[in-house]
Amino acid sequence: MPWLTLLIVVPLAAGIVAALLPSATARLVAAVAGLVTAGLAVAVLFEFNRTVGTGQLTEHHGWASEAGLEWTLRVDGISLWLVLLTAGIFGLALVAGFLHMPARGGAQYLGLILIAEGALLGLFLAGNLLLFYVFWESMLIPFYFLVGMWGSEGRRQAVMRFVVYTMVGSLIMLVGIVATAFIARDVTGQFTFDIQALQGVAFSDTQSRWLFAAFALAFVIKLPMWPFHAWLPDTYRTAPIVVTVLLAAVMSKAGVYGFLKIGLPLFPGGAAFFQNVLVLLSVVSILYGSLVAWRAPTLRLVVAYSSIAHLGFILLGIVTIDGQALQGAVLQMVNHGLVVASAFVIVGIITQRSGREKVADLGGLAEGAPWLAGAFLFVTMASLAIPGSNAFAGEFFILIGTFRHHWWAVFLACLGIIYASVYMLRLFQRTMNGPRGQVSGSTVEMRPGDFVLLVPLVAAMLAIALWPQGVLRTTGPTVDRVLAPAQVALNRPASQVRARVPVNPPEEALPLPGDPEPTAPTPQNTQVPTP
């Protein structure tokens, strides 16, 4: 079965169909398509061979082959979890859409969500730089309309800022993509955009740095990382809450994924060169996001800025270039998706039913809304990464790995952990505890539809909290492979490099695709035994 193609085509096709149908049918079509896609993602999980670190379930078809554009799809240990996250969160969003459709243009709304899902899945599965770029840009289109048409006050300006901001980054990335292919042709004699075929190309230091910078700029804007986050607060504030969930939980992972898929494996020299800058900027993101979240006035902004801090942790785990940290970062990508999605769902419940956006207007909601208070408490604790939560596992591993190389960054990041407890408790206590505010708790209490959304999210968080190894054992080989070139570029001790570094053009025979080679490259024993 062409699982990967189906994963992309089903939501895209269903999206186009749904947009044309009357809304009563459209919502059924959309919900079914969302669940089918989620089912397909689970099927991929079962088809996946977790001992292999390279891309697998490969599908390859020509498209505009003369221009280098080919329909190449692969899934590896990292994209597997992002695909599951995407399909899961979008599935929930579509179910939410089934339960509460917007009054105006509901069919188009659901159709656009499905198209966004298809584009994001395509991005996570793309095995070709041009295809990656096509999906990277095409996911902007549905989000543009979703925010621009169904958003709240100030949406036009916000969405323009969002689109223009990300376009700046992605156009520079396009230049980088083309340059990569041409420079690689000069080195290897082969003109290709295939990501796997481009690995190990011996770029010169200067080339590697510039190319890495071109890609990294697009990625850090998408994340976003401080100081490139200006698009985020307004977009998260004005977008419909479901779209905010999708942006924060799934789309933000696109930038992180770019570093893992392209940044580190293709341009290890550049990654090594910019490492310290990126570590510093991620720490700044953590502290800045935490501090602003502490003082932000509205519920949504608190969660939005906390998201900047959390993504800072994830980026820290990546750019520190360490196996344990990167394992933690991949785990944390899934965790952050789950946590921020449920946080926004709860914020959405509170703000929509109470009609209040400001933290100061609320208070004492726990009195009439015990279930909501319980769920909110759970999410608060997961968000501040209390030990025992799923997010703790991720942050713990990230920081262990970071500690090995940048202990100062860990001490600063720990300040972020303390601030996280401050701002999340502020949010929780100001809304749920204390004297009653302008709204009584019973108006915001959870309804059956809310349980449909929150129960799967909470269940997934608990599962990861109890058994993170379930994720880690799948991502391990991929992480080792992604990391190895950058580790070599940084002259890390051989004991830490746990995968073979590809060489392109190959000095000897190419390793077979999917070659399981978990051990470190041992130096060749050059001593000839004396007779």
Instruction: Give least dist CB 218 to another protein, A.
Output: 16
Question: Is residue 306 a contact point for another protein (CB under 8 A)?
Answer: no
Question: Is residue 374 a contact point for another protein (CB under 8 A)?
Answer: yes
Query: What's the rounded Cα separation, in Å, for the pair 131 and 119?
Result: 11
Instruction: Give least dist CB 510 to another protein, A.
Output: 27
Q: Which is nearer to another protein, 64 or 418 (CB)?
A: 418
**Which stretch in 32-40, 96-104, 115-123, 380-388 sits in contact with another protein by CB under 8 A?**
380-388
Instruction: Tokens for 451, please give them.
Output: 């349980």
Question: Is residue 292 a contact point for another protein (CB under 8 A)?
Answer: yes
Query: What's the rounded Cα separation, in Å, for the pair 357 and 377?
Result: 19
CA distances 510 to 75, 200, 514, Å, are 21, 11, 11
Question: Is residue 286 a contact point for another protein (CB under 8 A)?
Answer: no
Give the amino acid at 366. A
DSSP 8-state secondary structure symbol assigned to residue 302: H
Longest dimension (CA), the chain: 92
**Which stretch in 45-53, 140-148, 285-293, 452-460 sits in contact with another protein by CB under 8 A?**
285-293
Tell me how many degrees the CA angle 370-297-293 measures, rounded to the nearest 5.
Answer: 85
Site for another protein in 134-193 (CB under 8 A): 161, 165
CA dihedral (450, 455, 457, 463) in degrees, to 10, reads: 170
Q: Which is nearer to another protein, 159 or 183 (CB)?
A: 159
Tell me how many degrees the CA angle 177-183-187 measures, rounded to the nearest 5.
Answer: 135
Q: How far is CA 7 from the centre of its chain?
A: 18
Among 435, 493, 529, 531, binds another protein (CB under 8 A): 435
Among 214, 260, 350, 410, binds another protein (CB under 8 A): 410
DSSP secondary structure of 467-510: -THHHHHHHHHHHHHHHHHHHHHTT--TTT--SPPP-BS-SSPP
Phi-psi region of 434 (alpha: psi -120 to 50; beta: other; left: phi over 0): left
Question: Is residue 213 a contact point for another protein (CB under 8 A)?
Answer: no
392 in Cβ contact with 386 (< 8 Å): yes
Q: Which is nearer to another protein, 165 or 257 (CB)?
A: 165
Query: What's the rounded Cα separation, in Å, for the pair 126 and 115?
Result: 16
Instruction: Give least dist CB 354 to another protein, A.
Output: 17
Question: Is residue 448 a contact point for another protein (CB under 8 A)?
Answer: no
Among 2, 387, 516, 518, binds another protein (CB under 8 A): 387
Instruction: Give least dist CB 393 to another protein, A.
Output: 7
Element (H, E) at 28: helix 23-47
Query: What's the rounded Cα separation, in Å, for the pair 382 and 462?
Result: 10
Instruction: Give least dist CB 397 to another protein, A.
Output: 6
Question: Is residue 486 a contact point for another protein (CB under 8 A)?
Answer: no
Give the amino acid at 81. W
Interface map 92-131 toward another protein (x if CB under 8 A): ----------------------------------------
Among 24, 175, 185, 371, binds another protein (CB under 8 A): 371
Among 110, 432, 444, 457, binds another protein (CB under 8 A): 432
DSSP 8-state secondary structure symbol assigned to residue 247: I
Site for another protein in 316-355 (CB under 8 A): 323-324, 327-328
Question: Is residue 358 a contact point for another protein (CB under 8 A)?
Answer: no
**Binding stretches for another protein (CB under 8 A):** 161, 165, 226-231, 233, 288, 291-292, 294-296, 323-324, 327-328, 364, 366-367, 370-371, 374, 381, 384, 386-388, 392-393, 396-397, 399-400, 403-404, 410-411, 414, 417-419, 421-422, 425-426, 429, 432-436, 466-469, 472-473, 498
